[in-house]
Chains A and B, each alone.
Chain A
Amino acid sequence: MAGWPLLRYTARTLLAAWFILSGLFLLSRAHTDRNTFLQNSTEGNGRRLSASDQAHTTQQLLQRYGLDVPLFYVTLGSAAATGHISWRWHGSRNQYHQWFRQLLAGDLGTSYRDGAPVTEVLSQSLSYTLPLTLLAALGSMGLTLALVLWLSHRPRWRSAWLSGLHVLRALPLFLLATCLLLLLANPDVLAWFPTFGLGLEVEEVAWWQQPGRLLYFLTLPTLSLVLVTVPGLVVQLNGALQHELEQPYIATARAKGASSIRVVRHHALRNALLPTVALLSELLPNLVAGATVVEVLFALPGMGRLLAESAAAQDYPVLLGAVGLVALVRVAAQVLADGLYRVLDPRIRTHA
């Protein structure tokens, strides 16, 4: 067994993924409200149905969505006649079984709202979210490292900067983004950047203009995300770095005559990065999950908005697909972070 660490690792990861996905499925479906489907569909067009039509149509809708069968192999139910609670066995005719069989075949189902395959909906949203969050993540990481290294040489500035960063961190994303919008995209103040979206369709752009255009339209959303992420990262990394700098091995390095820049960059930073890796591994799934507030504000149809809208409309296949994707990326990030630990600190060896 010990000779197959990779296999064991894969098996464990798969097991974790199965567990998480099943948990999400059961959690999201357990609170399905039968009448809400009809409610969502009839609200917009003002069509009101009579009582018998409503009951009949609800039943049809549930049947189409596959929600008319029991949730799981067994359910805890009370018999209508006696009120006596007991376990009931349903066999393979249940929502979980059907969903899991589809999942194994690579089918995530279709959206309740427009019947589009979930994979298509997800990939469409990702095409908006990934550039945005990737830019934001790179920007935040670069800025964090630069800021922490700069602060490590200027202890006098440090506490003022940290206080400032805490203030920044205290401001909610929505407020920051609104402020940026009102400052940098406002005809009354500075109209440097566009207010929303990714440009109009009517404009024809050459291929070499595409990246610049994307960058131009994504500046404000990215900036809001960076401003909101950096304080947390800086505070954490700075705390860890200062902690490391007080360790005895730094004194040894200094005694050996290493310059202070070298001490920070080559000795302390490496160790200080370790707890920050935990935060970075959180960053990766956030790349996929998108940023709801920024996407709503800047009118980008990304994953964040998809998640919020499908949660509000109880569009479970899309919701589960999106959340499941985030979960999988999270598991992957976990694996990656474990690997990084080993690289950064060879003393940690998981013998399990």
Chain B
Amino acid sequence: MSRVRVAGFGKRKVLASGWLAGILVAAFLAPTSIPTPDLLHTTQAPFQAGHWLGTDPQGLDVGVSLLQGSRTVVLSSVPAAILTLLLGAVLGSAAGFWRNRALTTVARVAVAVLVAGLGLLFLPQLLAFPLLGSMLLVAAGALMYWPLRRAAWAQRSVAVPLDSLLMGAVNLLDSIPILILVIGVAAMQRPSATGTIALLALTCWTTAARIMRTTTLQIAARPYVEAARMVGLTNFQLLRRHIWPNTWPLLALQLPLTVAALIGLETTLSFLGVGFSPDIPSWGKLLSTVRQAPTAWWLALWPGLALAGTIVSLHSLAGLGANRSDVTK
């Protein structure tokens, strides 16, 4: 059974890696300049001289846009997806592992509250003299911590509601539908390329965090984790050896989905009229031009195929990774 699977995956793996390598090559070979629109041949069907894959309603060549779009996938969509997942994974597993009983001391809490309060109160001055101000703040914190260091009452432990805090943040972020959030941000400032990546990563991490939190909760409650804790493993050892190996496959499965979601979001934003600059050509934007010419099947087919190929390749590689991790366990 397992041998069959390995052989089957072997062929797929080659195919998948081949496709992704192709995308990578295309990304670096794609022309860097925006081509001249061919205004005499707008929305032209494919397989005609000059534009083999057809043109969009703007008169831009679909083939060239596809190539340039692959660069956007490599340089922004995938990094954004990975960033998103990592952010969600770290926060989610921390919340699931420590829940609401992450411990710290009264002294530290008191110092943190004091420093934050002073910082807020003297924010105007801090903005005027950032360097001097922050040095003074650190000094004030240290000054306060020094006497508390030895006091017994100040060394009593206090629980930090890590889980509640995280879920609060998740709820706050998720209660604003992401489309609305992006529309809102676009109304304040025109999104740049890096700004878009950061915005997407900062708003999309909640799904990953949620999944990681519940899986971690579940696994941390298993008897062998308890046993390992009894043996005296530190928290980080527990996380690294027993929790992460069991949780990250679920995360790997999310990668292709997240990439697809990010590209889909781009399309939807174009649909709602929040376009990104044509300087950043993308498959999503190409897909959204179908709206202007609903019968132009080539505008949906080519980027759709490219998108599907990439997602399936990412998926089969992620699935492989997940399988291997199970084998080592």
Asked whether any CB of A lies within 8 Å of a CB of B in the complex, the reply is yes
Flag if A285 contacts B308 (CB, 8 Å): no
Nearest-neighbour CB distance to chain A for B250, whole angstroms, equals: 6
Residues in B neighbouring A175, C-beta threshold 8 A: 267, 287, 290, 300, 304
**A37 touches B (CB below 8 Å):** no
Flag if B176 contacts A236 (CB, 8 Å): no
Flag if B253 contacts A239 (CB, 8 Å): yes
Flag if B316 contacts A163 (CB, 8 Å): yes
**B91 touches A (CB below 8 Å):** no
Nearest-neighbour CB distance to chain A for B197, whole angstroms, equals: 19
Residues in B neighbouring A293, C-beta threshold 8 A: 268, 271-272
- In terms of DSSP, what is the predominant structure of the interface of chain A? helix
Q: How large is the interface on A (under 10, 10 to 19, 20 to 34, 35 or more residues)?
A: 35 or more
**B131 touches A (CB below 8 Å):** no
Q: A119-127, A131-139, A196-204, A322-330: which one contacts chain B?
A: A322-330
Q: Mark A155-188, 1 if CB is under 8 A from B, else 0.
A: 0000100110011011111110011001000000
Flag if B180 contacts A308 (CB, 8 Å): yes
Residues in A neighbouring B210, C-beta threshold 8 A: 278-279, 281-282
Task: Compute how far the CA of A302 lies from the CA of B2 in the bound complex, rounded to whole angstroms.
Answer: 50
Flag if A327 contacts B175 (CB, 8 Å): yes
Flag if A278 contacts B300 (CB, 8 Å): no
The residue in chain B whose Cβ has the minimal distance to the Cβ of A319 is B180
CB contact under 8 A between A243 and B290, given known A171-B307, A275-B215: no
Task: Compute how far the CA of A345 lies from the CA of B124 in the bound complex, rounded to whole angstroms.
Answer: 51
Nearest-neighbour CB distance to chain A for B122, whole angstroms, equals: 9
Flag if B177 contacts A307 (CB, 8 Å): yes
Task: Compute how far the CA of A19 lies from the CA of B169 in the bound complex, rounded to whole angstroms.
Answer: 10
Residues in A neighbouring B284, C-beta threshold 8 A: 172
Task: Compute how far the CA of A175 lies from the CA of B303 in the bound complex, rounded to whole angstroms.
Answer: 11
Task: Compute how far the CA of A277 lies from the CA of B214 in the bound complex, rounded to whole angstroms.
Answer: 9
Flag if B294 contacts A20 (CB, 8 Å): no
Q: Mark A331-349, 1 if CB is under 8 A from B, else 0.
A: 1001000000100010110
**B184 touches A (CB below 8 Å):** yes
CB contact under 8 A between A239 and B315, given known A85-B124, A175-B287, A345-B221: no
Nearest-neighbour CB distance to chain B for A265, whole angstroms, equals: 19
Flag if A172 contacts B264 (CB, 8 Å): yes
Flag if B171 contacts A334 (CB, 8 Å): yes
Task: Compute how far the CA of A246 lies from the CA of B315 in the bound complex, rounded to whole angstroms.
Answer: 21
Flag if B308 contacts A167 (CB, 8 Å): yes
Nearest-neighbour CB distance to chain B for A25, whole angstroms, equals: 12
Flag if A285 contacts B174 (CB, 8 Å): yes
**A12 touches B (CB below 8 Å):** yes
Flag if A285 contacts B175 (CB, 8 Å): yes
Residues in B neighbouring A289, C-beta threshold 8 A: 177
Flag if A174 contacts B180 (CB, 8 Å): no
**A253 touches B (CB below 8 Å):** no
Residues in A neighbouring B172, C-beta threshold 8 A: 19-20, 23-24, 327
Flag if B311 contacts A170 (CB, 8 Å): yes
Residues in B neighbouring A331, C-beta threshold 8 A: 171
Flag if A311 contacts B183 (CB, 8 Å): yes
User: Which positions 166-223 of chain B face chain A at CB distance < 8 Å?
Assistant: 167-168, 171-172, 174-177, 179-180, 183-184, 187-188, 207, 210-211, 213-215, 217-218, 221-222
Flag if B214 contacts A282 (CB, 8 Å): no
CB contact under 8 A between A173 and B184, given known A85-B124, A166-B260, A239-B250: no
Task: Compute how far the CA of A232 lies from the CA of B311 in the bound complex, rounded to whole angstroms.
Answer: 13
**B100 touches A (CB below 8 Å):** yes
Nearest-neighbour CB distance to chain B for A187, whole angstroms, equals: 13
Flag if B217 contacts A87 (CB, 8 Å): no
User: Which positions 239-271 of chain B face chain A at CB distance < 8 Å?
Assistant: 249-250, 253, 256-257, 260, 263-264, 267-268, 271
**B227 touches A (CB below 8 Å):** no
Contact of B315 among A163, A324, A330 (CB under 8 A): A163
User: Which positions 106-121 of chain B face chain A at CB distance < 8 Å?
Assistant: 121
Q: Mark B291-315, 1 if CB is under 8 A from A, else 0.
A: 1001100001000100110111001
**A64 touches B (CB below 8 Å):** no
Residues in B neighbouring A20, C-beta threshold 8 A: 168, 171-172, 175
**B99 touches A (CB below 8 Å):** yes
Contact of A31 among B177, B188, B290 (CB under 8 A): B188
The residue in chain A whose Cβ has the minimal distance to the Cβ of B1 is A155
CB contact under 8 A between A282 and B174, given known A175-B287, A178-B294, A348-B217: yes
CB contact under 8 A between A334 and B167, given known A20-B175, A170-B263, A323-B176: yes
Contact of A166 among B171, B288, B311 (CB under 8 A): B311
Nearest-neighbour CB distance to chain A for B292, whole angstroms, equals: 12
**A45 touches B (CB below 8 Å):** no
Flag if B184 contacts A311 (CB, 8 Å): yes
Provide 28 A-B residue pairs closer than 8 Å at the C-beta atoms, listed in order of the A residue: A16-B168, A86-B124, A163-B316, A166-B308, A166-B312, A169-B257, A169-B260, A170-B264, A174-B288, A175-B300, A239-B322, A243-B326, A277-B214, A278-B211, A278-B214, A279-B210, A281-B210, A289-B177, A292-B179, A292-B268, A308-B180, A323-B176, A323-B180, A327-B175, A330-B174, A350-B100, A352-B100, A352-B164
9 residue pairs, one from A and one from B, having the closest CB atoms: A327-B175, A172-B264, A172-B267, A170-B311, A170-B260, A167-B308, A352-B100, A347-B221, A85-B124
